[in-house]
A and B are shown apart, each in its own frame.
Chain A
Amino acid sequence: MITLDINGQKVQTDAEPDTPLLWVLRDHLGMTGSKFGCGKALCGACTVHIDGNATRSCVLPVSAVASSKITTIEAVGESKVGKAVQDAWIAEDVPQCGYCQSGQIMSATALLATNKKPTDADIDAAMSGNVCRCATYVRIRAAIKRAAGSLTT
């Protein structure tokens, strides 16, 4: 048994220690907001926060995060920044197919948590690990700026 701290709650899992956190979340704990896209940390659909940092959960063995604070899309809206990002995502109508958007929102929230007024270059640097095949990038950029604006006013 491994005990995890997910979204402020202690949860236990009997998953094998080498199981990536993504599959523990999805298959063992029923938290399906974080998505499987590539399995190699190339697309960012699986992004969660590990101690506040945007991290790809598809290549992260669950045994490595037993002492970490894990936040997922299911609870990111409980933080002020996460809520602002989600509201901005809805206001800008960012999602199309939507499959990558949990990961996009997790990356954007991690960015805004440490950088209140990101430049375009900052956004590129923080978000270029997240692929969107619908290419919603124009609106992702706009939503990050909208969220930044709402957090500073």
Chain B
Amino acid sequence: MSAIEQDAAVHATRRDVLKGGAVLTVAMWLPAAGAQANATDATKAGTFVPNAFVRIDQDSTVTVLSKHVEMGQGAYTGLATIVAEELDADWNQIRVEGAPADAKLYNNLAFGPFQGTGGSTAIANSYEQLKKAGATARAMLVTAAANRWSVPASEITIASGVVQHKSGKSARFGELVADAAKLPVPTEVKPKDPSAYNRIGKSAPRVDSKAKSTGKATFTQDFKLPGMLTAVVAHAPRFGGKVKSFDASKAKEIKGVKAVVAFETPARAGVAVVATDFWAAKKGRDALTVEWDESNAFKQSTDEMLKEYRELSQQPGDIAKQEGDVEKAFASAARTFEATYEFPYLAHAAMEPMNCVVQLGQGSCEVWNGEQFQTADQMNIAKLLGIAPKDVKINQLYAGGSFGRRANPLSDYLVETVAIAKAMGTTDPVKLVWTREDDMQAGYYRPMYVHWLKAGVDAQGKIVAWQHRIVGQSITRGTFFDNKSKIDFTSVEGAQNLPYHIPNLQVELHTTEPKVPVLWWRSVGSTHTAFSTECFLDDIARATRQDPYALRRSLLEKHPRHLAVLDLVAEKSGWKKKRAADEIYGLALHESFNSVVGQVAKLKKTPNGPKLVSVVCAVDCGIAVNPNIIAMQMESGIGYGLSAALMGAVTLKEGRVEQSNFDDYPVLRINEMPAVETHIVPSKSKPTGVGEPGTPVIAPALANALAQIDGKPTRSLPLAGQGVKLA
């Protein structure tokens, strides 16, 4: 198998790209841009930068410019698949390059006038856009060939990157590039009907596998510029702490240390030791003495907060959803059930600790980063420097994971790097390198939550009322994503839109405001709502002696996608077949980011406790652009979600984060990973997300299996905190 290499190409800048010889750049103006596309101008260096997604070189290489970061989720491969389909290109001629930061050209259509990656939107928002981009390029190549061969364009076909006519004439893309570049861009093109797809729906290999299997892929950690200095920081040990004073004398004695500067950003304060290399900077940081001003620092412990949250969960909250009358229904119900669920703070703990390279110029700034939130980062950096956002140039590098961490409305670690360079007054490039401890203790966690649920059933066991109260921090409040309403949708998503038909339904929210920085964490609200809703439903099923699959089925009449996923996962897992006495299955179903995922966790009883042998996963994510990537994301989501379910927890003691590295914040390892099989529901609908939706389903599926062993439901995560350990 030949994967296409995309390695150090990330160094290439947009300017470099346009400098080359005859290049066909397909201009793809969005209506909002209000301008006309002009491919000819696009080839003139520096004169015109169109909204370009496709470039074809004279050597027939097709370069897809990805407006989305490649952080593991397979965006580069998925986006390229769409372009390759419309072009009928050979997969081996495709390469992918990160697009520069420019919201006018590369905004996320799901986010509005904002460039960024998140919410599992890369394929969903790019699908039509890249179909059109590819189809436009194709039409121009076909016209160029038709003109050259004096034949009707309708008689020209493309297969595996070769343009051909029945007369026997043929040309590779590169041979047509010069002619195609002179053509006007067609205003109307007809992208393929899905019935004509011959690449979408099949599993092309990843474009980045080779570079990432040979150590050649360039991450920010690997990026180096001449004269670059490395900064290692001492952060205030409590959130909200400031620098009172510091003694740098010992740090400055260390060979290689060039500067020691204090900094303060909207996210945090600290002292940076800047040196010729990481080790010198780290030794310098370790030799610092800093006195912190903690007069406004956060000093609560998570134990105390949990008590407050539990108390709040017993008081009415702001109404997020109200249908029917739950109180009335509870009063007339045959039985009622209640449960409280508790969820800890979680760290993202991407493999690559946060880092960033910046170089300040005169009224400008250049950044190199695994860049997820271009528009916010440009704005926040520009604000700090007092320059225009457009003068913040951001270069896209591979990101060593993110899981939400790099999409920070305050651009915390990028602004920190800029603040350090600014404090130094240097135009030398500066790389900020956080240690694992810095990364884990710098905040921006999945918030801690307490959920309280109550349900009422009638004499037949039919659920007639469901009340769900959520207590925890808002991720968006105070940021530019703040909707200024009492209900932050990211706190209640998955609960507010419960798919089950229950006539009386009420969802409430208490938004707490401790000064602990929080952020989206792979699948956001669903990380907790999928657990409480799916586990509570199984509780009711057990108590009313109903099969969990049959109970769900009975409540999903109005949700055909959910039903199809549920039926598929039941069928593929052999849910209805007789199981051996030592085999325990747990089921969960959840929609997030417009995709529906069902999972069956298969446990086997062993002398050392239950073992999670395998997970059967079904997903409806619309048209499956690249089933290989979808399967990878289901596997990844399951592993990431399982890690948190089993052992993930960040705790605070008097405001200090108690975890620091993989010894006290353990993460899933290979011996704990189950086998995974993924089944995709065939669909003709537009693609929906896959990066996140696999994540929230595994914890309830596992807990629902465990509960069958001893009848004890899991009401608090992680399982390790409940004394549960898998074999």
Q: Do A and B come from one complex?
A: yes
Residues of A within 8 A of B (CB): 15-16, 19-20, 23, 26-28, 30, 32-40, 42-43, 45, 72-74, 77, 86, 89-91, 93-102, 105, 123-124, 127-128, 130-141
Could you say which of A23, A38, A98 contacts B208, with CB atoms under 8 Å apart? A98
Could you say which of B73, B215, B402 contacts A72, with CB atoms under 8 Å apart? B215
- List the A side residues contacting B212 at CB < 8 Å: 95, 98, 101
B218 to chain A, nearest CB (A): 8
B209 within 8 A of A: yes
- List the B side residues contacting A45 at CB < 8 Å: 351
- List the A side residues contacting B206 at CB < 8 Å: 93, 95
Could you say which of B215, B632, B673 contacts A102, with CB atoms under 8 Å apart? B215
B440 to chain A, nearest CB (A): 10
Q: Flag B206-246 by CB within 8 Å of A: 1 or 0 each.
A: 10111111111111011010000010000000000000000
B170 within 8 A of A: no
B113 within 8 A of A: no
- List the A side residues contacting B349 at CB < 8 Å: 133
Q: Which residue of A lies closest to B635 (CB)?
A: A138
Q: With A40-B436, A97-B399, A99-B352 known to touch, is A90 a contact of B673 (CB < 8 Å)?
A: no
Could you say which of A23, A96, A124, A140 contacts B277, with CB atoms under 8 Å apart? A23
- List the B side residues contacting A37 at CB < 8 Å: 351-353, 436
**Ranked 10 nearest A-B pairs via Cβ:** A135-B639, A33-B215, A99-B400, A98-B212, A97-B72, A96-B72, A73-B215, A32-B222, A95-B212, A137-B673
A71 to B355, CA, bound (A): 27
A18 to chain B, nearest CB (A): 8
Given A72-B215, A99-B351, 5 additional A-B pairs, CB 8 A: A27-B230, A40-B436, A99-B350, A131-B669, A135-B636
- List the B side residues contacting A140 at CB < 8 Å: 670
B48 within 8 A of A: no
Q: Flag B605-644 by CB within 8 Å of A: 1 or 0 each.
A: 0000000000000000000000010001001101110110
In the complex, the answer to whether A27 meets B279 with C-beta atoms within 8 Å is: yes
In the complex, the answer to whether A23 meets B278 with C-beta atoms within 8 Å is: yes
Q: Which residue of A lies closest to B669 (CB)?
A: A128
In the complex, the answer to whether A127 meets B670 with C-beta atoms within 8 Å is: yes
A23 to B280, CA, bound (A): 10
B435 within 8 A of A: yes
- List the B side residues contacting A42 at CB < 8 Å: 436, 661-663
A84 to B255, CA, bound (A): 42
Q: With A73-B214, A97-B351 known to touch, is A90 a contact of B636 (CB < 8 Å)?
A: no
CB within 8 Å of A: which B634-656 residues: 635-636, 638-640, 642-643
In the complex, the answer to whether B279 meets A105 with C-beta atoms within 8 Å is: no
Q: Flag B392-434 by CB within 8 Å of A: 1 or 0 each.
A: 0000001111110000000000000000000000000000010
In the complex, the answer to whether B71 meets A97 with C-beta atoms within 8 Å is: yes
B150 within 8 A of A: no
In the complex, the answer to whether B213 meets A135 with C-beta atoms within 8 Å is: no
- List the B side residues contacting A132 at CB < 8 Å: 351, 639, 670
Q: Which residue of B lies closest to A142 (CB)?
A: B675
Q: Which residue of A lies closest to B212 (CB)?
A: A98
Instruction: Give the residue among B205, B210, B214, B278 with the most A Cβ atoms within 10 A.
Output: B214
In the complex, the answer to whether B643 meets A74 with C-beta atoms within 8 Å is: no
Q: Flag B185-219 by CB within 8 Å of A: 1 or 0 each.
A: 00000000000000000000110111111111111
Q: Which residue of A lies closest to B640 (CB)?
A: A135
Total number of B residues with any Cβ neighbor in A under 8 Å: 65
Q: Which residue of B lies closest to A15 (CB)?
A: B279
In the complex, the answer to whether A134 meets B72 with C-beta atoms within 8 Å is: yes
In the complex, the answer to whether B278 meets A27 with C-beta atoms within 8 Å is: yes
Q: Flag B64-95 by CB within 8 Å of A: 1 or 0 each.
A: 00000011111000000000000000000000
In the complex, the answer to whether B670 meets A35 with C-beta atoms within 8 Å is: no
- List the A side residues contacting B255 at CB < 8 Å: 16
Q: Which residue of B lies closest to A135 (CB)?
A: B639
A67 to B637, CA, bound (A): 43
Q: Flag B664-700 by CB within 8 Å of A: 1 or 0 each.
A: 0001111101011000000000000000000000000
In the complex, the answer to whether A35 meets B351 with C-beta atoms within 8 Å is: yes
Could you say which of B210, B353, B636, B671 contacts A134, with CB atoms under 8 Å apart? B636
A95 to B668, CA, bound (A): 17
- List the B side residues contacting A73 at CB < 8 Å: 214-215
B215 to chain A, nearest CB (A): 2
B32 within 8 A of A: no
- List the A side residues contacting B639 at CB < 8 Å: 132, 134-137
Q: With A97-B72, A138-B675 known to touch, is A33 a contact of B635 (CB < 8 Å)?
A: no
In the complex, the answer to whether B216 meets A33 with C-beta atoms within 8 Å is: yes
A19 to B209, CA, bound (A): 31
Could you say which of A23, A33, A40 contacts B663, with CB atoms under 8 Å apart? A40
In the complex, the answer to whether B353 meets A36 with C-beta atoms within 8 Å is: yes
- List the A side residues contacting B580 at CB < 8 Å: none
A133 to B669, CA, bound (A): 9
Q: With A97-B71, A98-B400, A139-B635 known to touch, is A19 a contact of B670 (CB < 8 Å)?
A: no
- List the B side residues contacting A89 at CB < 8 Å: 209, 213
In the complex, the answer to whether B214 meets A77 with C-beta atoms within 8 Å is: yes
In the complex, the answer to whether B209 meets A93 with C-beta atoms within 8 Å is: yes
Could you say which of B209, B403, B675, B676 contacts A133, with CB atoms under 8 Å apart? B403
B701 to chain A, nearest CB (A): 15
A134 to B642, CA, bound (A): 12
A134 to B73, CA, bound (A): 9
A131 to B661, CA, bound (A): 12
CB within 8 Å of A: which B428-480 residues: 433, 435-437
A128 to B643, CA, bound (A): 14
A95 to B5, CA, bound (A): 13
In the complex, the answer to whether A35 meets B213 with C-beta atoms within 8 Å is: no
In the complex, the answer to whether B213 meets A34 with C-beta atoms within 8 Å is: no
A43 to B665, CA, bound (A): 12
In the complex, the answer to whether A90 meets B230 with C-beta atoms within 8 Å is: no
Could you say which of B215, B216, B277 contacts A28, with CB atoms under 8 Å apart? B277
- List the B side residues contacting A72 at CB < 8 Å: 215
Q: Which residue of A lies closest to B218 (CB)?
A: A32
Instruction: Give the residue among A32, A33, A94, A141 with the most B Cβ atoms within 10 A.
Output: A32
In the complex, the answer to whether A40 meets B661 with C-beta atoms within 8 Å is: yes
A3 to B224, CA, bound (A): 24
- List the B side residues contacting A32 at CB < 8 Å: 215, 218, 221-222, 224
Could you say which of B1, B213, B628, B638 contacts A105, with CB atoms under 8 Å apart? B213
- List the A side residues contacting B209 at CB < 8 Å: 89-90, 93-95
A31 to B481, CA, bound (A): 41
Q: With A27-B230, A94-B213, A97-B350 known to touch, is A128 a contact of B219 (CB < 8 Å)?
A: no
In the complex, the answer to whether A90 meets B398 with C-beta atoms within 8 Å is: no
Instruction: Give the residue among A16, A27, A127, A130 with the most B Cβ atoms within 10 A.
Output: A27
In the complex, the answer to whether B73 meets A96 with C-beta atoms within 8 Å is: yes
B109 within 8 A of A: no
Q: Which residue of B lies closest to A45 (CB)?
A: B351
In the complex, the answer to whether A86 meets B213 with C-beta atoms within 8 Å is: yes
In the complex, the answer to whether B351 meets A131 with C-beta atoms within 8 Å is: yes
A-B contact pairs, 23 of them (CB 8 A): A23-B278, A33-B216, A35-B351, A39-B436, A40-B436, A43-B351, A73-B214, A89-B213, A90-B205, A90-B210, A97-B71, A97-B350, A98-B211, A98-B213, A105-B213, A131-B669, A133-B667, A135-B642, A136-B635, A137-B669, A137-B673, A138-B635, A139-B635
CB within 8 Å of A: which B579-611 residues: none
